[in-house]
């Protein structure tokens, strides 16, 4: 067999395998549509962190072990083959690697049901982890919001305290002014009283001097009369 004949044989074999795969795939999809698969969507649709979750889900179909290894012993995984058909179809519509993996393994290596059981077990772990991360993120946001509220409330308390301190300070200043005024009044009264006393003393002295002068004048007149 020459090279041309060899290439022709390989090409026909490839086309035969591809045709068989497509026929099986079409039959599978039609069977799932008959079970209501048209309404199903891939598990990452509408989920938190949708793009990241989709990437993780698609990565499952790149590793053969995810399909041939059963869930660990003792792990309870409730898998309903019939119910998950529509979801499987929806995923294969967006994951060519999953279609290829199914064609390579079913039924030569593993049965159809076990193939999907093993796959959906690991898919469920990814979805649960994603939901847990989303829940933790929501909780963190809620905690941050509460912290902000507490900070806001504390800010209000601080402002109220500052306002009260300002009011108290003003009251102290007003009281101080009153005391100063009272002290000024007392001081003014004392100074006024001192001035009045001094005036009285001066007045008394002035009166005495005048009286003495009058006495001297009278005495002088008496001397002249004599």
pLDDT tens digits along 181-191: 455 556 656 66
Structure tokens at 102: 């199914």
Considering the chain, what percentage of its residues have pLDDT values greater than 90? Answer: 43
Do residues 10 and 60 make contact, with C-beta atoms less than 8 angstroms apart?
A: no
User: CA dihedral defined by 207, 210, 211, 212, rounded to 10 degrees?
Assistant: 120
Pick the CATH number of 3-145 from 1.10.3970.10, 3.30.540.10, 1.10.760.10, 3.40.50.2300: 1.10.3970.10
pLDDT computed for residue 115 by the predictor: 98
d(CA 93, CA 113): 19
- List C-alpha distances in Å: 2 to 5, 10, 13, 15, 16: 5, 12, 17, 20, 21
Tell me what the mean pLDDT of segment 129-142 comes to.
92
Whole-number mean pLDDT of the chain?
Answer: 75
d(CA 47, CA 134): 9
Residues 6+ apart with CB under 8 A from 110: 67, 68, 118
Tell me what the mean pLDDT of segment 173-194 comes to.
56
Confidence of residue 174 (pLDDT cuts 50, 70, 90): very low
Considering the chain, what percentage of its residues have pLDDT values greater than 70? Answer: 49
- Domain range list for the chain: 3-145, 157-226
Residues 6+ apart with CB under 8 A from 24: 103
Tell me what the mean pLDDT of segment 186-203 comes to.
60
Q: Is the pTM value of this prediction over 0.75?
A: no
pLDDT at 105 over 90: yes
């Amino acid at each position: 067999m020459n090279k041309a004949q060899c290439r022709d044989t390989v090409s026909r074999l490839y086309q035969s395998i591809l045709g068989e795969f497509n026929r099986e795939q079409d039959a599978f999809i039609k069977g799932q549509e008959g079970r209501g698969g048209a309404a199903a969507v891939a598990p990452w649709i509408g989920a938190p962190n949708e793009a990241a979750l989709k990437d993780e889900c698609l990565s499952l179909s790149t590793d053969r072990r995810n399909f041939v290894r059963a869930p660990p012993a003792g792990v309870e995984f409730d898998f309903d083959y019939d119910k998950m058909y529509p979801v499987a179809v929806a995923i294969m519509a967006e994951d060519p690697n999953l279609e290829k993996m199914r064609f390579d393994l079913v039924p030569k290596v593993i049965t159809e049901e076990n193939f999907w059981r093993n796959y959906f077990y690991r898919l469920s772990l990814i979805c649960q982890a994603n939901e847990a991360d989303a829940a933790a993120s929501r909780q963190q946001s809620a905690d941050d919001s509460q912290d902000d509220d507490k900070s806001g409330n504390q800010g209000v308390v601080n402002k109220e305290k500052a306002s009260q301190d300002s009011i108290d300070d003003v009251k102290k200043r007003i009281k101080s002014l009153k005391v100063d005024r009272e002290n000024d009044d007392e001081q003014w009264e004392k100074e006024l009283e001192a001035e009045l006393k001094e005036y009285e003393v001066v007045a008394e002295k002035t009166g005495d001097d005048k009286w003495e002068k009058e006495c001297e004048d009278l005495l002088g007149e008496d001397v002249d009369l004599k």
